[in-house]
């Protein structure tokens, strides 16, 4: 089969940034309305999630330093719901893979799955908090503000989610996800507000990243301001979010899915798929077939999101840890996202199968897009049939169209190697 020729293109996105991240965090923590909440002798728990925050070690190190500067004793707790296989050891391992250790932070990492019920929402939904965090004198909730991968609303993924589901550990995540999309869209916000209003949370540290995975904004948020501030920051996160430069594609090839790129393995806002019963799919982009080549090492075998794909390769399939994946999928209750699609031997066979299934489309003229993952979209490949549309949106050609480059095992060459081939 003849494959479409592809051009390597570059996209430019808005790029606000924070120069010295640690210095910026320390400055936010020294502001009177924040510094006054940190007192000598306090034992302070700082949350660390599994999301791909690029500067997470620096941010947590600076927060720990701010607590010590005030005479307190900081420690870090994993706040990631059921991720890490829903075990204390697994969650600590996830943090280690992100560079979050006692050695890098200067503060101990304490992991437990035990929780305390701290209250109930108006509709009787129990709200939980990590027992270690609850036993501290105060909690700092650190998290990234971004569009959610399951729904769209005024508040999506951010500090309130970290408080309700992250700090709620496996039990809290199960409780909210058992209520479906309504649970995480509506009940999550109320549960998060209850956590922030419990008297335990000292402040939140909100992180917004730009499309290049760099820290764009940092804000220390008092508990009483979390709702309006998170609404505003979500709008900024939407403005900065990366996207594909085309509205439609016959085949989208994603080199890697992974928890370090998105909680769902692939950002549903990028690929245009929710795959949640009763939830309408995004209008853009429209992808006929989605092919995924590999699973990131940082996922530790958790392949949640594999069901968003139509075809995968054997090398991805062989890296799936069913226990870790099932724990995350079953907690989410979105079973479609955990279903394993047809497994092809390599990238070449998977792409060929997707093109063969694209009824009425000449393979050489098919709309083909290749991205490394759904987080890094600064450079990508598009077929000749999509090039004009991509360029009309502001993309630039880095290398003119050429044949897809495969290695001896039939897998696409890595991005850097493919460019040099």
CA 54, CA 261: separation in Å to the nearest integer? Answer: 10
Eight-class DSSP state of 19:
S
Check pLDDT > 90 for residue 280.
Answer: no
Query: In whole angstroms, what is the distance from residue 36 CA to residue 33 CA?
Result: 6
167-202 residue pLDDT tens: 999 999 989 988 888 777 888 999 999 999 999 999
Q: Mind listing the pLDDT tens digit for each residue in 200-251?
A: 999 999 999 999 889 999 999 999 999 999 999 999 999 999 999 999 999 9
H, E, C per residue of 181-206: HHHHHHHHHHHHHHHHCCCCEEEEEE
Domains (ranges, CATH) in the chain?
A: 6-13+242-420 (no CATH), 31-240 (3.40.50.11440)
Which of 410, 345, 417 minimizes the C-alpha distance to 381? 417
Answer with the residue of higher pLDDT: 174 or 69.
69
Q: Please choose, from the candidates 77, 74, 115, the residue with its C-alpha nearest in 3D space to the C-alpha of residue 95.
A: 77
Tens of pLDDT along 337-393? 999 999 999 999 999 999 999 999 999 999 999 999 998 999 999 999 999 999 999
> Any idea which residue has 């306090």 for tokens?
42
Q: What pTM, to 2 d.p., does this model score?
A: 0.82
CA separation, residue 336 to residues 63, 158, 229, 274, 351 (Å): 38, 24, 33, 9, 22
């Amino acid at each position: 089969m003849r494959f479409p020729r592809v051009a390597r293109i570059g996209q430019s996105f808005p790029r606000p940034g924070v120069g010295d991240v640690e210095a910026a965090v320390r400055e936010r923590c020294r502001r009177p309305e924040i510094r006054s909440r940190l007192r000598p002798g306090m034992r302070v728990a700082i949350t660390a999630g599994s999301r791909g925050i690029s500067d997470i070690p620096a941010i947590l190190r600076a927060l720990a330093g701010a607590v010590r500067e005030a005479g307190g004793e900081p420690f870090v707790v994993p706040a990631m719901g059921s991720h890490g296989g829903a075990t204390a050891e697994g969650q600590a391992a996830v943090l280690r893979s992100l560079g979050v250790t006692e050695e890098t932070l200067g503060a101990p990492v304490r992991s437990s799955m035990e929780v305390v019920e701290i209250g109930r929402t108006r509709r009787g939904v129990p709200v939980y908090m990590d027992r270690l965090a609850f036993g501290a004198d105060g909690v700092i909730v650190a998290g990234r503000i971004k569009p959610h991968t399951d729904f769209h609303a005024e508040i999506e993924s951010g500090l309130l989610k970290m408080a309700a589901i992250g700090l709620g550990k496996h039990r809290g995540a199960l409780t909210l996800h058992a209520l479906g999309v309504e649970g995480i869209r509506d009940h999550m916000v109320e549960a998060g507000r209850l956590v922030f209003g419990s008297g335990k949370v000292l402040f939140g540290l909100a992180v917004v990243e730009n499309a290049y995975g760099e820290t764009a904004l940092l804000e220390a948020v008092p508990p009483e301001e979390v709702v309006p501030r998170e609404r505003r920051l979500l709008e900024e996160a939407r403005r900065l979010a990366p996207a594909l430069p085309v509205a439609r594609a016959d085949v989208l090839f994603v080199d890697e899915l992974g928890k370090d790129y998105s909680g769902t393995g692939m950002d549903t806002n990028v690929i245009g798929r929710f795959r949640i019963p009763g939830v309408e799919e995004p209008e853009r982009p429209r992808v006929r077939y989605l092919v995924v080549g590999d699973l990131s090492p940082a996922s530790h075998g958790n392949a949640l999101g594999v069901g968003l794909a139509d075809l995968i390769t054997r090398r991805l399939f062989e890296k799936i840890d069913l226990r870790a994946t099932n724990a995350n999928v079953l907690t989410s209750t979105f079973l479609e996202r955990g279903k394993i699609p047809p497994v092809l031997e390599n990238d070449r066979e998977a792409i060929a199968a997707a093109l063969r299934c694209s009824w009425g489309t000449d393979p050489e003229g098919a709309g083909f897009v290749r991205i490394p993952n759904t987080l890094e979209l600064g450079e990508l490949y598009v077929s000749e049939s999509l090039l004009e549309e991509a360029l009309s949106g502001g993309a630039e050609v880095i290398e003119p169209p050429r044949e897809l480059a495969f290695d001896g095992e039939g897998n696409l060459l890595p991005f850097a190697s493919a460019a040099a081939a």
